[in-house]
A = this chain, B = another copy of it.
């Protein structure tokens, strides 16, 4: 890799950014593909976001951005066009310029989980899903699973209003599938996904009562941690198929690279705002 005056820029913005993996992962991919571009960490202090973020979009040789915590919702209004997945979850995690120079934003967090499950051989179509968490990650995964054709999703979320809002939205967007607020994993679930933060701390246990799980059920987790999280440890012990937070991130890379390079449509049909 050689950075010169003609090198194109991509970046991930967040506060903080020290923990992000994208610069390494995407710069390596650019090098491997012979693309004269680098991927940078850009730390925007949260209080300065609304001044700095639109300015970044004015940089002439910046071609794409990833958006991480805490900016996924705040970034959305700065995209001139957003995909339907981003509209559904009111947040974006990626932007690129389109042919006219306008910024196109979309949300890949949920698609990353679906791709990761598929890559491990667990198609999601027609599955009965139990989902812990109706926050940003849970909402993105719920929409992506619905889009990918699951039969039903039962949502377990301590914040009742949050759960109800997500279920209402899913019912409106996907009227042929079933969505419910539930208080534990429904019997017969064939995919159990933790999209809550439970498991991030070493002292955390399971995100909730998993009940008597079907041995064929697949278990997923959004939490990235060095050691396996409690729900992934349980999956390994009991012999369930599983998709980790690390798998999810890897599952996003190909989709994001295609998006950045304009090789593929976004996860949802582009919709003008």
Contact = CB atoms under 8 A, between A and B. Distances in A.
A204 interface: no
A209 to B, nearest CB: 36
A19 B9 CA distance: 16
A186 B52 CA distance: 52
Contacts of A39: 3
A94 to B, nearest CB: 17
Interface residues of A, number: 36
Interface of A: 1-7, 9, 15, 17-21, 23-24, 27, 38-45, 48, 51-52, 54-56, 58-62
A40 B9 contact: yes
A60 B40 contact: no
Contacts of A60: 15, 17, 43-45
B45 A58 contact: yes
Nearest to A58: B48
B41 A38 contact: no
8 contacts: A4-B41, A5-B20, A5-B21, A7-B23, A7-B40, A9-B42, A17-B61, A43-B60
